[in-house]
Chain A
Amino acid sequence: MTNSDINRLKDKAFQVFGIFCTFIGLVVLAVFLFDIIAEGIARIDWDFLTSLPSRRASRAGILTAWVGTLWILVLTTIIAFPLGVAAGVYLEEYGKKNKMANFLEINIANLAGVPSIIYGLLGLEVFVRQMRLGGSLLAGALTLSLLILPIIIVTTREAIKAVPRSIRDGSYALGASKWQTVWNQVLPASFGGILTGIILALSRAVGEAAPLIVIGALAYVPFTPSTPMDEFTVLPIQIFNWTSRPQEAFLTNAAAAIIILLIITFLLNGIAVYLRNKQQKKVKW
């Protein structure tokens, strides 16, 4: 066997190994999806989406849970989007590369890895108690905003970094100020990447139960919220609550609610992919 034969063999072996690794994740996901869908799909109907919580599994619905989830999504976006993007732009475009910047950078990267329950405790002390927001939607959205800010900042910076130096130089050469360059050139060019980051961050926020339970989100709410100061529940809390019930029928409900949550997450991801593709076509250089 020649050297090149051995190399070809190694190459083949690695290829097989790579395919195997890829399939592990996919198979597990497929089994999980199949299991959940088989158990829950029959339970989903209009009543399930429009009914209030109930002790009888067959009559219980997720109206307050999914409305609460949508509220949280919208509020979190309103809060986290401008803050995160502005922070990213500052760090990448304005901030000087000194020790302070290094320090901030390391901390933001670390914050992205802090367990979500810690953010819950922080939110409980700062938003719920000090700012006296109570267990409201606003307190929940602020807490989740903290949770996803590091992700948004990091992805914003990556997206901005990908804009070539020459674009900025061209803008300056035409007499544009720094702000004009950022606003008219850098942000539009990197917007697809930024949006993708935000939507992926929101997909994470939408699945969180622990920090919201800590700040006092409820399990039984018989009304849909009408202002950001209202109390609320979200889908993950409802799912968590149902899976711990002894009656089998509640597990079916939980599976059905998981499908709804998955649909929301897939929709968000779909929007992210669509926006990114659309944006990439716009960028002419």
Chain B
Amino acid sequence: MLNLKLNNLNAAMLLGATMLFSACGGNSENAEGGSSLSGSIQIDGSSTVYPITEAVAEEFRAEAPDVKVTVGVSGTGGGMKKFTRGDIDIVDASRQMKPSEDSLAQANGITYVELSVAYDGLTVVVHPENDWVKDITVAELKKIWEPAAQGTIKKWNQIRPEWPDKELHLYGPGVESGTYDYFTEAVVGESHSSRGDYTASEDDNVLVQGVSTDPYALGFFGFAYFEENQSKLKAVPVDDMDDSNGKGAILPSLETVKDGSYAPLSRPLYIYVNSKATARPEVITFINFYLDNAGELSQEVGYIPLPDELYKEQKQKFEQFAKGAQK
């Protein structure tokens, strides 16, 4: 299905390029000419966003074979350091740029544009044989994860009296990950602040392994890791006590993350583009290609696409920015 579409797209691009060469004109967005592009585009940053960018870069190979797109995985923080020094063209980010990073960019004379490319739904999971947890509220999650819980919240019945008098075992991403930052911000209210006595791993597959073998476990990680391991895990519906964005407790799914009702645990993923890079036609074409295909490709690698109109908005935002940067 995707292949078919991409082939059509390629055919269209080829056609566009042919027309361009023969007629020396044309007003398509890729007026610079698809396959005649060359140069290199350097991308680095979040390992969470990496699969999407890798997929886009892979498809872009067919679109413009002479453009060398490289992608690194230094993490959002490491990528931002390179981006704000002007070492790379695009940074993958699983969180927004911090004010400290922004001032670094300004000090180095770098202007940029932020584009959202997909959503990730942080999923709260328990062991599949856990039959007592039917849903959980954000307030309860906060009670479990806030720093004050360390050493005091140790049993399931401390959260809800009807839950069993059994030990509660917690699993979560390590404190260096963007996932941890986002979860603590959304649940505890302060980024990077939580209890320390939980099983932490930078490798989400380790967390999957942990929760799926421990009947008294509770953990959280990105939606893709739940989706791939549905038989071994059970997702817990989350209630944010705000009926304006969906009533009651809501399970993360393609629909609920996309329409915003799975709040507050859906997070957008970003790319940032350096304005200097937008002077190069291959970068313009790549970003437009990215936003055109991010929907389908992000879903293929386990993330959730933005609504179509948001992709359009991002494209307009980028077009405006690129125009402004040329002046």
Contacts and interface: CB of A to CB of B under 8 A. Distances in A.
A221 B228 contact: no
Interface in A61-96: none
B121 to A, nearest CB: 13
Q: Which 6 A-B pairs have the closest CB atoms?
A: A220-B71, A55-B55, A246-B228, A246-B224, A218-B72, A246-B225
Interface residues of A, number: 26
25 contacts: A55-B51, A55-B55, A55-B300, A213-B72, A214-B74, A216-B74, A217-B72, A218-B44, A219-B54, A219-B71, A219-B73, A220-B70, A220-B72, A222-B61, A222-B69, A231-B42, A243-B203, A243-B205, A244-B202, A244-B205, A245-B51, A246-B204, A246-B205, A246-B224, A247-B302
B45 to A, nearest CB: 11
Interface in B227-285: 227-229
A266 to B, nearest CB: 26
Contacts of A248: 228
A127 to B, nearest CB: 14
Contact of A244 (B47, B82, B300, B301): B47
Interface of A: 52-55, 134-135, 213-214, 216-223, 231, 237, 241, 243-248, 251
A231 B70 contact: yes
Majority secondary structure of chain A interface residues (helix, strand, loop or mixed)? loop
Contacts of A223: 68
Contact of B72 (A219, A222, A244, A247): A219
Interface of B: 42, 44, 47, 50-51, 53-55, 57-58, 61, 68-74, 82, 87, 202-205, 222, 224-225, 227-229, 297, 300-302
Contact of A216 (B44, B53, B203, B300): B44
A218 B73 CA distance: 7
Given A222-B61, A222-B68, A213 B74 contact: yes
Given A55-B54, A55-B55, A220-B57, A244 B70 contact: no
